[in-house]
Amino acid sequence: MTGASRGIGAACAVALAEAGWDVGLTYAADREACEATAARVVATGRRAAVHRAEARDHADVRAAMDALQDELGPADALVVNAGTTRDGLALRMTAEDWGAPIGVNLDGAFSTIQAVAGGMAERGAGSIVALTSVVGVHGNAGQANYAASKAGIIGLVRSLADELGPSGVRVNAVAPGFIRTRLTDVLPEAQQQQLRDRTALARLGEPEDIAAPVVFLCSERASFVTGTVMMVDGGLNL
């Protein structure tokens, strides 16, 4: 489970533990928050392991995945959630601002999946779930870099579903809408209300709303589901 320090990642980690999984967790900067997530996993009676992984560093990601599997055993499921944003108008965007979300969100997803999927294919089973976004489906002004990275994840997931399906490995994506996290909590109330007005269910989602479908896709209940993008957006009207 990458990007497990808080928000959607932490909610997914705890929900997986509650469903009976041991959970390996990665973080980029905030070890304390990731350790707190691990403590919540352990409180359910499951095992947890924590390792740092810089998503833009292919070798670092592979080392973290290997370490987690050494500690907890071969991965039966992988949830790819690590992400970042660098919002701004495209015509004013620096090369660094463009590259940061691509490096973390897309390159990091590829590196993480590549580090784990080979073992799954050899064992003939496994489930990979990558977190994309409604922005990757619809685009969003001021987020060309983020949208491109998340759209890339959709293409990656659908391609890998074809490649890995014959080996018994399923690959899917979950596309959250507007979810209550630290990124939305800092928005002015008027802007949060605009988001609620654009959502059929008239509220922002909670991290747990995303965790439930992630757990489903990891489970055998989704044994005939692969190459799909599950929209979890409350009926977003763009």
Q: Which residues pair with 49 in a beta bridge?
A: 24
CA distances from 166 to 126, 153, 229 (A): 12, 21, 19
What whole-number distance in Å separates Cα of residue 24 and Cα of residue 208?
A: 19
Both structure tokens of 64: 């973290």
Out of 146, 156, 176, 177, pick the active-site residue.
146
Does 146 participate in catalysis according to the annotation?
Answer: yes
The beta strand positions in 184-236, using DSSP E, are 229-232
Residue 98: phi, psi to the nearest 5?
-65, -45
CA dihedral 225, 136, 207, 191 (to 10 degrees): -150
**Residue 76 has what DSSP assignment?**
S
DSSP class of 87 = -
> How many helical (H) and strand (E) elements, i.e. helices and strands, does the chain have?
10, 6
Distances (CA, A) of 93 to 84, 97, 146: 15, 6, 12
Secondary structure class of 232 (helix, strand, coil): strand
The rounded distance, in Å, linking the Cα atoms of 3 and 7 is 9
Active site residue ranges: 146
